[in-house]
Amino acid sequence: MNTELTHSYLEVNGLRYHLVSCGEGPLVLFTHGFPESWYSWRNQLPALAKAGYRAVAVDMPGYGNTDKPEAVERYNQVAISDDMAAIAEALGYPRFVSVGHDWGAPTAWHTALRFPDRVRAVVGMSIPYGGRAPGPSIEGFKRLFNDCFFYMLYFQKPGVAEKELEADIPRFLRSFWWSSSVEGKGGFDTSKVAPDKGLFDAMPDPEQLPAFIEQAEADFYQQEFERNGLRGPLNYYRNLDRNWELSESYKDATVTQPSMFLYGDCDPIPFVGGDFKRMHKNFPDLQTHVIENCGHWTQQEQPEVVNQHLIKFLNQLEQ
């Protein structure tokens, strides 16, 4: 089986996407999170190709070599999930498996919810889906974090986070990666950091990379973000309330397809807000697996374990 990575471009819904593909067979479409790129799936693509699948990872809008639309609202999950279904169709696959991590997990969940006849199975990592929230996020975050810093609120005003973080991309990346890795031991405490401070005030600099990423790999990410900036990636956070508003039409929908959720035992994020506890209500055919010695960067921290779970899950599906 040829496991060579092939780069290509495809235009759907007015955006030019960069795709990285490997293998032949049923389509598995990978969507990444923040601050990552298609490259976060570098260890999954050849493994799935060897197992008999066509593995395709995308640079999400705002990242890498995919277009970076100016309009903040273009980064909402309805538009993005429309794009994923259109990409699969353009590749010649009426049905596919959607796999996502971090911000890519909501993309996978939404694509499965909105295209039940197209998505034959779905896998999310690190970010659970507990159904549509009773209200929009931002006001709730403001009440909850009224007296202290919260990064999602800090990301809301265009230009503010960009100015701070783009001034030192290596510092931003190693701090963000470390804080949610197994070495970070559950994140960083911002309870004593004032709400008007910046991310670097709230997030200590570890002055080293976490064990899951080599310097050459970190250099790849650094070059991508220094070339493209962070406006596009941050725009996903600026659509939190818009995503809630747009989900009204499928608020009672459940994901009836075979589904799987993977999360690290040292990742606190899946347990914030109660979505994890509500998952089985929204996913009648759900498998969940905790990955040991793993933080938030699931497929990069424990690639072999993730690959084993993915291939076993995929091989159980009706072809």
Report the Cα–Cα distance between both ends of the chain, in Å, rounded: 19
> Which residues, listed in sequence order, are joined to residue 98 by a DSSP beta bridge?
29, 122
Phi/psi of residue 300, nearest 5 degrees = -95, -35
Q: How many CB atoms lie within 10 A of CB 272?
A: 11
- Catalytic residue status for 296: yes
- Catalytic residue status for 289: no
Q: How many CB atoms lie within 10 A of CB 281?
A: 11
Q: Which residue has the tokens 């804080």?
A: 179
Cβ atoms of 75 and 62 closer than 8 Å: yes
Cβ atoms of 295 and 266 closer than 8 Å: yes
Active-site pick, 102, 110, 267, 309 = 102
CA distance 9 to 232: 19
Active-site pick, 18, 101, 296, 309 = 296
Helix (H) or strand (E) holding 6: strand 6-12
Catalytic residues: 102, 296
